[in-house]
Each structure stands twice: as C-alpha cells, then as structure tokens.
Amino acid sequence: MPVVREFKLPDLGEGLTGAEVVRWMVEVGDVIAVDQPVVEVETAKAVVEVPCPYGGVVTALFGAEGEEIAVGAPLVTVAVAGAAGSATGLSSGSDEPDAAVERPLVGYGVAEPAKGGRRARVGGALPVAVAAAPVAAAVPVAAVPVVVPVISPLVRRTAREHGIDLAALTGSGPDGLIMRADVERAVALADAPAAAAPTAVGGEVVPLRGLRRTIAEKLTRSHQEIPAATCWVDADATGLMALRAQLNRTAGPKVSVLALLARICTTALARFPELNSSVEPDGSGIRRHAGVNLGFAAQSDRGLVVPVVREAHLLGTEQLSVELARLTESARAGRLTPAELTGGTFTLNNYGVFGVDGSTPILNHPEAAMLGVGRIVAKPWVHEGELAVRQVTQLSFTFDHRVCDGGTAGGFLRYVADCVEQPGMLLRQL
C-alpha cells in the first residue's frame, strides 16, 4: 500500500532561511529514485540541486519557478511503496528497508547540466503495490517550462521581471546559449513602443532578493558594527610584474598577478597575525585565526561574490594561482557552493580590474581587514634618484580599529608595499 511522504526544503546551511525555485527537474507522475535531484534552487550563496530522500511516484510539487520557498516548507510529495516495496518505491525483491521510514538526505551539490537521471513516467510495468492503489491528489502547480539554453540565474530573473519569453529568443552564445545581452536587447525592443508614447514619469522598486539581499544585509551590518579605518600608499610594481613574466616563461601553471598578491598577503599576515582575526559577536574578545582562509572579490552575473581559498597560507604561488583560477571560473559560471563562499578570515580586493586606482571598501563582516589593489599603470616615478616611467599601483588597507591601532595597520601595508616593490623579500619567508 503506497504511503505519501512529504519532503520539505532542507536547511542548506550557513544560516540560509529559504531558496528560490529555478526549475523543476521532475513532474507530477514521474517515478524517481532515492536521492534523485528533483529541483534546482537559487540560494543567497549559489544555485544548487536538491535531492529527494524518497523513491516512488511524485504526487505534488510546491512552488512555481521564481517563487521563494522557506526552509522547512513542503517541497514535494512522493507516493512510496509500503512494506511490500523497496526503498526506491519499486518492487524489486531486494532486502532494502521499508521506504516509509525516512532516509537521511545524502546532500546537495552544484547544479550541472549533466547531472540527474532520466525520468520514468507512471505506466506500463509498474509494481502492483503502487499501480493498484490510488495516488493522493496533486496540488496544482505551474507547468514546468520548456527547457531553454540559458545558464545564468540572473538572465532568467531579468527575463522574468520584464516578461520576456526565453523560449522565443535566439541566443548569441555558444550552441545558442542565451546571454544577458540577448535579454537586454529583447527588453529594449519591448520598451521601445511605450517610450514613444507620452507617459507619466515614475520610478521602479526592485526587490532585494537572493544574493543582492544577502550582500545588502552583510554590508549594512559591517558598516554599523565595525569601526573601520583606511590607509593607503602608492607602490612601484615594476619588479613584481617582471617576476611574473619570468615565472611564466618556465613550464608549469601560469602565475597571475592576483596569485602573487595573495602570496604577499599570507606572508604579511604571518608577520601581523592580529589582522587575521575577528571580534567575537558579543564584543567580549578578539578571535585570532590559526590559518588564513583568503577571500577574494569576484564579479559574476549574480553580482559580487567572495570565494574563499582554504588554508591559503599552506599554498605556494603556483598552487594559489590554480585555485584562484578555479574559483574565479566557478564564480562566473554560477557553480560556487555555499562552502566555497563562507569561512574567510581576510579578503583581497583587486578592484584595479575595473580600471580604478583607489577605494575605501566596507569590510567583509566579520573579518577585521581587507587589502585593496588598484590598477597597475605606467606613471612617472622617481627610481634610484632619477625620474622614470614605472608600473605603479595604489594599495589601500581597511581594518577594524578594535583589533589594532594605526601602527600595526601601517606596518602591514608598508610590508605589503615593500614586497610589491621588492618581491625577492618573499624568499625570506620560505
């Protein structure tokens, strides 16, 4: 006799309270296996697939695409076999435990197009225990949309907010992939007739959801709780760029400027460990971290994210370069997991990629410090007593004034600048 089991949205970790339905991977009436992914959701951290711990016939889906589902709210119901069936809800004669007993959720992973098995439809040679019993009435939900070649959740959201049918667009990306520019063009065309007619001037309220809401809440908390101060210095990066060129002429992984800066940061934090810390939530003390989990700012279609290189102080320059490249690619593709976006102890912010020289960033709460690096550009510079054209960058350092005074912060920044100007100093730390 089938038993209808209700699967609720699990706690996805890191304090997340809900998730937005991106797409359903099953339909009402499908036969699913235990731990088969049933829905792709977008949290404030990443886009993930959620597996269902029950196997059997899907009887109801809760939530349409774009709808926010709270943690603990019903997600899907499944008619599973009773004592006569196996754990998958199909009669196989195995010694599997009774499917009516809840199995623990195996876990969830980053959404990948190749994941997930083929769905089986109810009908044909289904087990008698399932086919002979009436299935609970399904709760009406929106029909699962036609799959279109689009990866970015931001592209989907933009299209949804402007009423653009993605299935009607022809993508300009590889294999017809629909890009952000394709949706923006469609939005512009849709708005063109309305723009020609006289209308009242009005504004638009854009809801803070998902990653944008998380960023807003975190930055607000940082600004309210942390007495931050910033100091900065110009540095001659000619030697650093020459070292990078020399390293990349040899065999092995290519070394990025970001990797060299990351190496400098870990070395500087070993000399100034009070900056690799955070103030306890109740303000009772300062927690100094044993290792460096190095966060770095990365721009993606979902907005600004800060992937974290775990145990960065144990990695060499080439290893840092490989890991930074991997996390950057995952950020651009929207494949970062919650674990890869949390747990940082210090942040490196290379805003020079935007063509700017300086910044006074807000700290990545609850971290106590952040190094910012501006663009590296040719400028007149006094070198060995003579005016010369050198590769110059501006370094800025923002720190929590509760963990140290200006002398420590200035010492850290001066050491970083010295390493940028004389990268051979890093050899002293080997």
Take residue 244 and report the two structure tokens written for it. Answer: 């990078």
Catalytic, 191? Answer no
Catalytic, 401? Answer yes
Measured between alpha carbons, how far is 322 from 252 in angstroms, rounded to an integer?
10
What three-state secondary structure class fits 60? strand
From the CB of residue 359, how many other CB atoms can be counted at a distance below 10 Å? 19
Inter-residue contact 387 to 361 (CB < 8 Å): no
Inter-residue contact 351 to 373 (CB < 8 Å): yes
From the candidates 11, 165, 191, 405, give the one annotated as an active-site residue.
Answer: 405
Measured between alpha carbons, how far is 328 from 326 in angstroms, rounded to an integer?
5
User: CB-side exposure of 6: number of CA atoms within 13 Å?
Assistant: 8
Query: Of 3, 4, 48, whose CA–CA distance to 22 is shortest?
Result: 48
Q: Is 416 left (phi over 0), alpha (psi -120 to 50) or beta?
A: alpha
Measured between alpha carbons, how far is 367 from 222 in angstroms, rounded to an integer?
9
Query: What sign does the CA torsion over 35, 38, 43, 46 have?
Result: positive
Residue 49: enclosing H or E segment and its boundaries?
Answer: strand 47-52
From the candidates 165, 223, 383, 401, give the one annotated as an active-site residue.
Answer: 401
Q: What are the catalytic residues?
A: 401, 405
